Amino acid sequence: MEKISQNAGKVLLEIYLFWKQKNDVPKFEELLKSTKLKDEELKRALKYCHEKAFIDLQIFSGIGMKKMDGHFLIKDIAARGVDIIEKPADKGGNKPFNVTFNFNTDFNIESIIKGEAKLF
């Protein structure tokens, strides 16, 4: 079972790649399909990214509904989201992305961005 933070990192990368290709962000349903995460896993990952200010997210919930049962609308990827992906490793070789999302050092962002590796 993966951690919420790891799912969030992969989801943020999916959003980033979609944004680079299409100059837009994916809809929730598109992310469900591409990530193969369960509805509740994706919602937790998106909420995590939003609270870290990596994406702009709006959650619509009706009266008596829990926030996490609402409709999630991804509005944009934030500059901070792009920065965390593109920022190079520090002098110690630690990549800010890997540290933030609890990935080991073998998680190669560059190969994913180039399309050489898969996220999910």
The residues spanned by each domain of the chain are 4-105
Provide the percentage of residues in the chain whose pLDDT is more than 70. Answer: 98
pLDDT, average across residues 58-84: 92
Predicted structure pTM score: 0.89
The CATH number of domain 4-105, selected from 3.30.70, 3.40.50, 1.10.10, 2.60.40: 1.10.10
CB proximity list for 32: less than 8 A, separation 6 or greater:
39, 42
Residue 116 has pLDDT above 90, yes or no: no
Whether 100 contacts 9, CB under 8 Å: yes
- What CA–CA distance (Å, rounded) separates 28 from 30? 5
